[in-house]
Amino acid sequence: MKSDLFSSENMAQQATAPGMTLQNAKSIKYAVNGEMYARQGSMIAFRGDLQFERKGQGLGGLLKRAVTGEGLPLMAVRGQGEAWFAHEAADCFIVDMEQGDVLTVNGRNVLCFDATLSYEIKTVKGGGMTGGGVFNSIFTGYGKLGLMCEGHPIVIPVTPQQPVCVDTDAVVGWSANLTTSLHRSQSLGSMVRGGSGEAVQLRLDGEGFVIVRPSEVKPEKPSAN
């Protein structure tokens, strides 16, 4: 049988080392040798001796998710084998985190990560009155973090001289040393006339970067899990 379908760029190869790699722009391959974590329902294929188990968020995480709809619905993947992860054909990216790095990420953009990374769901200061999530996931430790977003992301530097304001429906994450606050960019007169649709943003100050997606978030489909 012959087809472009069977080209080398589409063919899955046997992993040569444990860990996370990009299979292509839309999926991540993970060679599991022990344990790793992934978004619930994101596994699209696997081979080998692997078990998938829902991972609890703890009482605090469950309460925050119940109130806000945000959070990290995770599953633990254990054993030895290879698994492929994707979510609605979103673009995938891998972040290599080193000791001392801290990254805050919207839970909707997390696909999978090494068990050596730690995360905590925290309140985003200034986010309570905006349209996006009030809580983000703070990642620390050493390892790889697989992210996803609809479209190719834009990374915008933030400096003390040039703070950046972002739409919370478009933001993916930012370096956690930045401070956040509420920014109102629409006048009262404009609001009375119906508004521009861009009334309030999240302002980021300090030295670092912010990652945004080239579209506003769509409502997620109800999870079957």
The pTM (predicted TM-score) of the whole model is: 0.81
pLDDT of residue 127: 54
Residue among 189, 214, 211, 194 at smallest CA distance from 202: 211
Number of other CB atoms surrounding residue 18 within 10 Å = 14
DSSP H or E segment with residue 138: strand 135-141
- How much is the pLDDT for 11? 80
What's the confidence (pLDDT) of residue 186?
54
- The pLDDT score that the predictor gives to residue 14 is 79
Question: Per-residue pLDDT for the chain (225 aa), expressed as one digit of tens each?
Answer: 888 887 777 888 777 789 999 999 999 999 999 999 999 999 999 999 999 998 765 544 444 444 434 457 889 999 999 999 999 999 999 999 999 999 999 888 999 999 999 988 887 776 554 444 557 889 999 999 999 999 999 999 999 999 999 988 899 999 989 999 887 765 444 444 444 445 678 999 999 999 999 876 665 555 444
pLDDT confidence of residue 136: 84
Classify residue 99 as exposed, middle or buried by CB count within 10 Å of its CB (0-12, 13-18, 19+). exposed
Q: What is the pLDDT of residue 57?
A: 55
Q: Cβ–Cβ contacts within 10 Å for residue 62, how many?
A: 13
